[in-house]
């Protein structure tokens, strides 16, 4: 077993905390292994004045870390699974999925307020969130907002936004639950596939038994169903298509959100199946919803 393991991460505070979760899990079981964090700024972190849709999508958050893995400069890369593109290089598989944090989306109000006014402005660059928020807040308008959690909260204080939407998981990992104004149920706002799960990426063919403490079988099964639903619909990284799976004993319940580019409408359906057949469940639900278009 390696005596030194280098974990790659984006530079943001949240990304470093997420990498630290993995580091601590490794050292809990193998205290003699030296685990180092290697941080880097990705293209997605550098370009904040344009939407992801215009500059290349979620892959911009992983390509520098992919290159570092391939070059051997790091041994693992830790990502929020929801930020990973649908297609992952065969030579750089996800080797473990973390225990899932709260998968829900939350609304944060402008400081000093406790609601979104009629005709208010909500900051989000996510088509998935905008689509569902238009149903929940039909009088509001939506404007793009990008950057890490701290940057978005600063923009909420200083710019013309009445609220913004973030993932509960990131705020909880940052210890910032106090800023949450409203929590959306997964029925009100279907989360992005993989939301709340950390993906640990490695190199094909290597031994990762040292990740046993960091890995969750439940998350692996839920992620398989969610990501297969998205992949089966050939949804790009900026598509509003969403999925959320919940493992209940030996059964997996999958909720999918399907969006029709032709009609501009979306709908949500739920199906259940065997927990060890998550990919088949995701593909089946996607096929059924596509046929109803």
**Measured distance CA(190)–CA(255) in Å, rounded:** 8
**CA quadruple 270, 274, 275, 280: dihedral sign:** negative
Query: Which bin fits 57, alpha (ψ -120 to 50), beta or left (φ > 0)?
Result: left
All residues at 6 or more sequence positions from 88 whose CB lies less than 8 Å from its CB, including other chains: 94, 201
Q: Which of 45, 66, 83, 102 is catalytic?
A: 83
Has 83 been annotated as catalytic? yes
Residue 39: which of 81, 74, 82, 83 has the closest Cα?
A: 74
Mark out the alpha helices in the chain (DSSP H runs). Answer: 13-29, 43-46, 52-55, 63-71, 127-136, 149-158, 168-173, 217-232, 278-291
CA dihedral 48, 50, 52, 58 (to 10 degrees): -30
Sheet containing strand 121-123, edge to edge, reads: 141-143, 121-123, 163-167, 105-109, 182-183
**Measured distance CA(67)–CA(73) in Å, rounded:** 9
Active centre residues (catalytic): 83
């Amino acid at each position: 077993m390696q005596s030194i393991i280098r974990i790659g991460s984006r530079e943001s505070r949240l990304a470093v905390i997420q990498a630290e979760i993995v580091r601590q899990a490794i050292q809990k079981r193998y205290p003699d292994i030296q685990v180092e964090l290697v941080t880097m700024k990705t293209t997605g972190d550098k370009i904040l004045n344009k939407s992801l849709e215009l500059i290349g999508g979620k892959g911009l958050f992983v390509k520098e870390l992919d290159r570092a893995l391939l070059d051997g400069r790091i041994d693992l890369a830790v990502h929020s699974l929801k930020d990973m593109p649908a297609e992952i290089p065969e030579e750089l598989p996800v080797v473990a999925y973390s225990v899932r944090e709260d998968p829900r989306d939350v609304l944060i109000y402008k400081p000093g307020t406790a609601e979104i006014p009629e005709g208010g402005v909500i900051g989000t660059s996510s088509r998935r969130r905008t689509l569902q928020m238009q149903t929940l807040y039909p009088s509001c308008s939506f404007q793009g907002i990008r950057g890490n959690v701290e940057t978005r909260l600063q923009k909420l204080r200083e710019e013309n936004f009445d609220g913004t939407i973030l993932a509960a998981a990131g705020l909880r990992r940052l210890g910032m639950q106090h800023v949450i104004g409203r929590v959306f149920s997964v029925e009100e706002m279907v989360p992005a596939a993989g939301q709340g799960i950390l993906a640990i990426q490695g190199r094909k063919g290597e031994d990762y038994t040292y990740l046993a403490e960091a890995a969750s079988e439940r998350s692996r099964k839920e992620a398989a169903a969610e990501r297969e639903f998205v992949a089966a619909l050939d949804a790009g990284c900026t598509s509003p298509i969403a999925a959320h799976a919940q493992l209940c004993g030996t059964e997996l319940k999958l909720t999918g959100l399907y969006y029709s580019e032709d009609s501009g409408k979306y709908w949500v359906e739920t199906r259940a199946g065997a927990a060890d057949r998550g990919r088949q469940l995701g593909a089946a639900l996607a096929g059924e919803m596509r046929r109803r278009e």
